Structure 1
């Protein structure tokens, strides 16, 4: 603790003691001693990177429900060759592999003689793209045009086979473990602001109740600020019920600040109160800055068309991604965009996979391709890390007749920019997309890679009384780092 912080803490304790008598005096002493004890073993983040960063901001694109890896960024033509056969009837049955053996067993005929879990053919074609020759499904033609910007990781795995895996991907921990901070919260906790008039951690899109919060034990100050792409109402409670002049607002804000300061003196350790005060003050500053961000009239017609704002099927997602580019331009650190949130998630395709993925890819493909191109043309991609992820993949076998079940043993994530290599593929699944068999990565390896590019060492991001496990930290995927 520096001299200013120490004097500030002592002053708050003294003022609180004066207002609470001898009881307050004892409490103040206890709080001060506790603070000194913590300081002896731990120092809070300074807001500075731990080492030289390569990226300043992250745009985190999350596809809720589970994107099929075989029909997106890890095509498997063997599925079509052996489509309609059970895994036991193919060369890929492996009695030494417990998961494949289990699948072969449940592929046996049911009581009515019907075969189950037959391999399901690919529902869309695929091609090699760019100089890198990365194979991408025909459902993503606009992203495919940016193939030489991508670092595709085809060997991801996770452990939650239900949609709590959405939280697991964000936090690194299974829902049964409890509530843990998300990656965005750790970034917010570890790094200082690039723009004091904007929130440093923003969330767009619907989030299900199990994936609603970010800060958890770091405190509510590290939750993402939810934002809508609506110039008239982009943030909850960001505008008064009736119009006030700017000078009247400033007088009211000054009075509220004085009252808040008094409460902070009385309750210096109340994290929720501190978060509310900080959010109120930030909201006041954002009343002019945020509406400007989502005022797309400042963008050219060509840019708006590139993001698909003129097309109903991708307009909403396109607006979110154009807003994300504008937010990064203004210095926002972490922008978390959820596509298809609510319930299990829009990409959950137990049946009618072709219709499901056709509809969803149309909603996201053009805006994502535009974002990558736009960032690169503006010279921003090298300092902005774009992530495309989903909580898990989908099974090689069918579920019912025309869909795929949840699959945790091998799926794909790609990243672009932020000091990563361009046009590379890392890791691999087997011939039918069942298992990650080469350079396997748990979800926190993605976290570790992002933190490294932002100049953060996760082992220095801890708080007293909260020991983090090795799995929380993960390991950077150095093979895709430039």
Structure 2
């Protein structure tokens, strides 16, 4: 259990704000002004918002596919599965994967349930693949638009994790097994370490429906012991109501709200004359100003009227199957170009384990899901690049684990934590490279293996942050929590 600080007056003041958007904004400013620091953590003070060393990236777009995308039908195709389809693993020359020390090493930390079993009868690839780009990286035919950008990607084929069920979704974002309790997510660490580039917008934004309660829920974009002011703020792609729970109400006119803020501001400033040393009062004055500015600026971000028809088509806004995710990717671009540090986009939420969870019907399921996201992601990469934003925007594509080489239910694949893929682009990362490898069956990560926090460490490193210098006294992290930057993919 993590120690809980006593509820001092200022801590109570923050708690009374609740989880509303204005409360997040005010809490953030209280921390920036140093008001809440002593009450919360004694002599410790949070970072000053400056990088620890020269950064290569300013911002991050984090794309997460919920449910477990098959690495075998995306960015790590394995022709041996076609060659030995229908045979058991023991009937192939690759039977030694079952005796690999990696199996035991990973399973030591796994909390087994009905899922995550080794499926022995090999299942062929459900889609073709080809070498793409000048780099010749093999990519599934379900990802043609992303494949067009493959020379900008660093594909990491050697990830592993220690949760064989969908708590791995939370684990991918926090680095810790879901049974160990919530911990700060990667977006929250970035928010905490660097703060904002634009105080008219949230600093850490969440788009799409987050992971379900079964698999981490709000903790998937939460800050845990860093404090709620570092949680992700959910936005809706609706110019009329982009900030859930933060709108003034349909019966309140903009002019009326402005007059109210002006009156409160005047009263606060009168009090400030009487109490010139009240830093909390100064922060409260700023919070009202900030909340009003955000109510004005956020709707503009999700209004695409200023975007050309060509740009909207690039993201797939003209197609039913790509419109929703395309709107989220276009919003992400509009957010980062306005100074938002971290944009987290979820795809595949279905109220449970996630749509990418392919225990059966993998071919129709993955085919449909890939059509929803491939064009928007490809459009995002191309749009960032042509605007000069990809140079200092780090794009990360990930999922919680891969799928088994063996079949489940005759036409699906089970959960697979032993080896799977992710990729990065932009932000000082090399393009057109593959790092790490799984074995011939795609079973184990066997070359340049990386636990999921190595992704975190790489993101923080490119932003100029050293995770150990961010560590909070009283909340000691394990060495594996920090991870190590994947330096082989850095330019």
TM range (shorter): 0.7 to 0.9
SS at match of 2:238: coil
For residue 191 of structure 1, the aligned residue among 184, 190, 194 is 194
After superposition, give the CA deviation of every residue in 1:370-414 in whole Å (9 maximum; x if it has no partner). Answer: 000000000000110001000000000001100000000000000
Distance in 2 separating the partners of 1:395 and 1:247:
58
Do the aligned partners of residues 63 and 381 (structure 1) sit closer, same or farther apart at CA in structure 2, a change above 3 Å counting? Answer: same
- Residue 409 (structure 2) pairs with residue 407 (structure 1): no
For residue 464 of structure 1, the aligned residue among 448, 451, 473 is 473
Q: Work out the number of aligned pairs and report it.
A: 434
CA contact (8 A) 2:165 2:415 kept: yes
- Residue 217 (structure 2) pairs with residue 211 (structure 1): yes
For residue 45 of structure 1, the aligned residue among 40, 44, 47 is 47
For residue 146 of structure 1, the aligned residue among 146, 149, 168 is 149
SS at match of 1:313: helix
For residue 58 of structure 2, the aligned residue among 36, 40, 56 is 56
* Distance apart, 1:433 and its partner CA: 0.3
Distance in 1 separating the partners of 2:361 and 2:355:
12
SS at match of 1:155: strand
After superposition, give the CA deviation of every residue in 1:450-472 in whole Å (9 maximum; x if it has no partner). Answer: 00000111001122311111111
Superposed, 1:267-278 pairs within 5 Å as none
* Distance apart, 1:32 and its partner CA: 11
Moved more, 138-147 or 87-96: 87-96
CA contact (8 A) 1:149 1:417 kept: yes
Distance in 2 separating the partners of 1:44 and 1:481:
28
Consecutive unaligned residues of structure 2, counting only runs of 5 or more, are 1-9, 12-34, 105-117
* Distance apart, 1:248 and its partner CA: 3.1
- Tell me the TM-score normalized by structure 1: 0.84
SS at match of 1:314: helix
CA contact (8 A) 1:155 1:428 kept: yes
- Residue 76 (structure 2) pairs with residue 70 (structure 1): no
Do the aligned partners of residues 368 and 37 (structure 1) sit closer, same or farther apart at CA in structure 2, a change above 3 Å counting? Answer: closer
CA contact (8 A) 2:268 2:285 kept: no
CA contact (8 A) 1:50 1:455 kept: yes
SS at match of 1:252: helix
Superposed, 1:257-406 pairs within 5 Å as 282-341=290-349, 342-406=351-415
CA contact (8 A) 1:61 1:338 kept: yes
SS at match of 2:406: strand
Q: What residue number does 2:138 align with? A: 135
Distance in 2 separating the partners of 1:84 and 1:184:
42
Do the aligned partners of residues 286 and 116 (structure 1) sit closer, same or farther apart at CA in structure 2, a change above 3 Å counting? Answer: closer
Distance in 2 separating the partners of 1:269 and 1:211:
35
- Tell me the TM-score normalized by structure 2: 0.83
SS at match of 1:55: coil
* Distance apart, 1:179 and its partner CA: 0.9
* Distance apart, 1:149 and its partner CA: 0.3
After superposition, give the CA deviation of every residue in 1:413-457 in whole Å (9 maximum; x if it has no partner). Answer: 000000000110000000010000000000000000000000111
For residue 459 of structure 2, the aligned residue among 416, 430, 450 is 450
Distance in 2 separating the partners of 1:145 and 1:405:
29
Distance in 2 separating the partners of 1:225 and 1:33:
22
Structural RMSD (CA)? 3.0
Distance in 1 separating the partners of 2:159 and 2:412:
21
Distance in 2 separating the partners of 1:362 and 1:154:
22
* Distance apart, 1:116 and its partner CA: 6.6
SS at match of 1:59: strand
Distance in 1 separating the partners of 2:255 and 2:359:
57
* Distance apart, 1:260 and its partner CA: 13
* Distance apart, 1:200 and its partner CA: 0.7
Q: What residue number does 2:87 align with? A: 85
Distance in 1 separating the partners of 2:205 and 2:264:
25
After superposition, give the CA deviation of every residue in 1:66-102 in whole Å (9 maximum; x if it has no partner). Answer: 010011000100000000000010111116426779x
* Distance apart, 1:176 and its partner CA: 1.0
Q: What residue number does 1:164 align with? A: 167
CA contact (8 A) 2:155 2:424 kept: yes
Distance in 1 separating the partners of 2:465 and 2:270:
32
Distance in 1 separating the partners of 2:439 and 2:288:
52
